[in-house]
A = this chain, B = another copy of it.
Amino acid sequence: MDLYKKKTPNSKKFYDDSVKLFPGGISHNIRFFRPYPFFVNKARDKHLFDVDGNKYVDYWMGHWALILGHSPKVVVKKLDIQIPRGTLYGTANNISIKLGEIIKKSIPISELLRFCSTGSEATMYAIRIARAVTKKRIICKTIGGWHGFNTDLMQSVNYPFEIDEGVGMTGREGDFVESIPFNDLDRSIKLLDSVKDDLACIIIEPLLGGGGCIPADINYLKGLEEYCKRNDVLFILDEIVTGFRLNFGSVSSQYKLNPDMITLGKIVGGGLPIGVVCGKKEIMKVANPVENKNKEQLCYVGGGTFSSNPLTMTAGYSTLDYISKNRQTVYNKINKLGDIARNGLRKLFSDYGMKTQVTGIGSLFLTHFLSDKVNEITNANDVALSDYKMLAGYHFSLMAKYGIFFLPHKMGAISIVHDSKDVQRLINATEKIIKSGILNKRIKN
């Protein structure tokens, strides 16, 4: 902590200014950490640079959005051309067709799609469409599932899951939301059965992202999907994190799933604000304002002022176009580095007799410190019972002492600008942290 303070006097000054402007001094709750977050003024490739000139190898990567790293040349080049040609047309434009087409081509079920500006908007629209199409009201989500800050889905996100997500709710938002235990098919189906008659959709992340980097069991996903098909319920994969992260498109192809809708964000915006609702034509057509002329027919799926703005469309298209042409290299590389990181960390912690579980898939990974309360991580409840303070200490040490940045508590994302040396450095730094004794009061033999 002292070392961090010594290295970040300018960040401290900026933070002092920042708390006078923003509640908690930040614009996103999770970006705060003690004693104060460092303030970034430059990012390039794999690095963040703070206002004190410190350099960090970034595994947070813009909330996991930056699969090509910060400001990759292929994106910068195209944005440089686009910026003097307009940042916000506010009209139909041809670049949005290019981004739409490349998404559609790589995700077969995205027969029709709608761009908006955030993931939170995308999931809100997806469930609105599901209610419109099924004429049923209940939305099912998983406990610990995170679909953004929209009021509709702010249920059972944070521990303790059964109480309201903060003050400022009416207490009635949950009347039409059913929360099921992640990765527990039997109990989930019992709960689904109890609301079956009014059940519009299940929305689920294939990997709990904010909830702790926990992949859903394939059989769990398949079981939920089958339940949906049997009961005229829509199955929605929220792939804001996983879309174009694990392969070029959706996990539905590699898992052999057939969702009715998919939500996207992050990567497909190429580092600029985006959300996307994709789905089968028969479903998405309820949002067509040309065919549905009145309120009794049309499902309002906005878009908003900034939807399909040419900067986001350009950044998103140039990112996907680049990956498309290099897809084998890209996913082979980052998925392999992910394996090396997970396995390397697992072996290391095991060698030192520390009870941890390194979760993740592909290029995403997170270390959980097990505790007396939990000895296996399968859902967000387990994560909440793990040793969160030790995780924060681990991440903080990586950042302060070794210039390796994970947002404390949050999973890391490997991008194509990371290499095996970075991963080795992460493992080496982790070993030094273990040896330093910072975490040692918990080391058991």
Contacts and interface: CB of A to CB of B under 8 A. Distances in A.
Interface of A: 11, 14-15, 17-18, 21-29, 31-32, 37-44, 48, 51, 60-63, 65-66, 70-71, 75-76, 79-80, 83-97, 100-101, 104, 112-121, 124-125, 128-133, 135, 137, 148-152, 154, 158, 160, 163-172, 175-176, 265-266, 269, 271-273, 284-291, 295-312, 315, 407
Nearest to A131: B168
B93 A290 contact: no
B149 A91 contact: no
Given A96-B27, A148-B302, A287-B23, A168 B90 contact: no
A305 B90 contact: no
A150 B124 contact: yes
Given A286-B168, A287-B23, A290-B32, A40 B295 contact: no
Contacts of A27: 92, 96, 114-116, 303, 307-308
Contact of A44 (B42, B85, B93, B289): B85
Contact of A86 (B40, B63, B149): B40
Contacts of A271: 87-88
Most buried by B among A91, A151, A286, A307: A91
Contact of A137 (B31, B170, B289, B302): B170
Nearest to A161: B295
A15 B27 CA distance: 38
6 contacts: A28-B307, A28-B308, A32-B289, A117-B273, A148-B302, A165-B295
B23 A92 contact: no
Nearest to A171: B137
A174 to B, nearest CB: 12
B21 A302 contact: no
A25 B269 CA distance: 20
Nearest to A289: B29
B86 A70 contact: yes
A311 B92 contact: no
B300 A38 contact: no
A103 to B, nearest CB: 9
Contacts of A14: 92, 94, 97
A176 B172 contact: yes
Contact of A167 (B24, B286, B305): B286
B273 A166 contact: no
Given A31-B90, A266-B305, A25 B290 contact: yes
Given A40-B86, A119-B304, A272-B88, A289 B18 contact: no
Given A23-B287, A71-B85, A38 B91 contact: yes
